[in-house]
Amino acid sequence: MGSKSACIVFDDVSYNLSMPATVASALKLSGQRCVSSGRILVQRTIYDTFARKFAEEVSKAQTGNPFDHLDIEGNEKNESNTIYGPLINGAAYDKVNYFNELVMSDPSNEVLLEGKRLQSSCDIRGKRGSCSFYMSPMVYKTEWRDAPYLKNEVFGPHVAIIPFDTLDDAIRIYNDTDYGLALGVLTNDFRKARRVRDECDAGMIYWNGGSIAAESHLAFGGVKKSGNGFPSAARTFRAVTHEVSWTVNHADALEFPQGMK
């Protein structure tokens, strides 16, 4: 269920909505979700301001163990600004770093936050060790084009902020990948939202909710190389259970709704 999911941000929506929606879509679970927004498409009229505010918000996010503020019983012992933890393993660590270096080496990009390898922590126990691979978020401004870090799934805290001019432009950019899983459209204009719904190649589209606002009772899946795994989480119960019809009569006598006695 790979993807190059995105949020499309129009200039008619407030920053109070667009900032938390896009930051969460990009960084929740360290960007290691199939629905994570590695692309933020922003209308050019607000592009520079949005990019600056987005980088400011992301810079506040601390990387570390999200459970450090809890005691052994799971109670909160202190406040924490840690919102995402490590990458899942060394291979993921190297992959994200590879794409970050590609971004850094391309002079057409404007890097706002440089994704850096942070010191990994290892707990060595006998012959086996458990390591945590932390990386700071990469955020950069760039025009849409055929670049590997724009077209391929990075699966980490790696975010491209891409400008668009018109609704048609936004739809074209979103569709210009081999994937089609999730999309968040942030706008107060229902006409724009409906065109995005109808013309974007995606299996899940969220209006004013970012790209991670999944509902367990709805179908979950995508198109193109994002697969077609459409049964919802709720519907998977049918695969491991059987239904039982249970009808109860609370009356003292037997009466049927058709009027028979």
Helix spans in the chain (H): 15-27, 47-59, 90-105, 148-151, 167-175, 190-199, 237-240
Mean pLDDT of 157-184: 97
Give the residue, 119 or 86, on which the prediction is more confident.
Answer: 86
Dihedral (Cα; 139, 141, 144, 149), 10-degree rounding: -30
Domain annotation covers residue 247: no
Domain annotation covers residue 125: no
Instruction: Give the span between the Cα atoms of 182 and 206, in whole angstroms.
Output: 8
Mean pLDDT of 137-164: 97
CA-to-CA dists, residue 213 to 22, 28, 205, 226, angstroms:
11, 11, 9, 17
Give the residue, 31 or 229, on which the prediction is more confident.
Answer: 31
CB 62 within 8 A of CB 79: no
Domain annotation covers residue 174: yes
Domain annotation covers residue 202: yes
CB 183 within 8 A of CB 202: yes
Whether 254 has a pLDDT exceeding 90, the answer reads no
Q: Please state, rounded to an integer, the average pLDDT across all residues of the chain.
A: 86
Range of 187's domain?
Answer: 6-83+102-113+139-240
Domain annotation covers residue 20: yes
Maximum Cα interatomic distance, the chain, rounded to a whole number of Å:
85
Domain annotation covers residue 249: no
Query: In the chain, how many domains are there?
Result: 1
CB 144 within 8 A of CB 176: yes
Whether 130 has a pLDDT exceeding 70, the answer reads no
Mean pLDDT of 238-242: 73
Domain annotation covers residue 130: no
The pLDDT value recorded for residue 241 is 78
Dihedral (Cα; 223, 211, 47, 162), 10-degree rounding: -30
Mean pLDDT of 79-108: 89
pLDDT per position as a tens digit, 65-79: 766 766 666 677 666
pLDDT per position as a tens digit, 202-222: 999 999 989 987 677 777 888
CATH code, 169: 3.40.309.10
The pLDDT value recorded for residue 107 is 96
Whether 129 has a pLDDT exceeding 60, the answer reads no
How would DSSP label each residue in 110-150?
EEEE---BPPPEEEEETTEEEEEB-BPPEEEE----S-HHH
Domain annotation covers residue 93: no
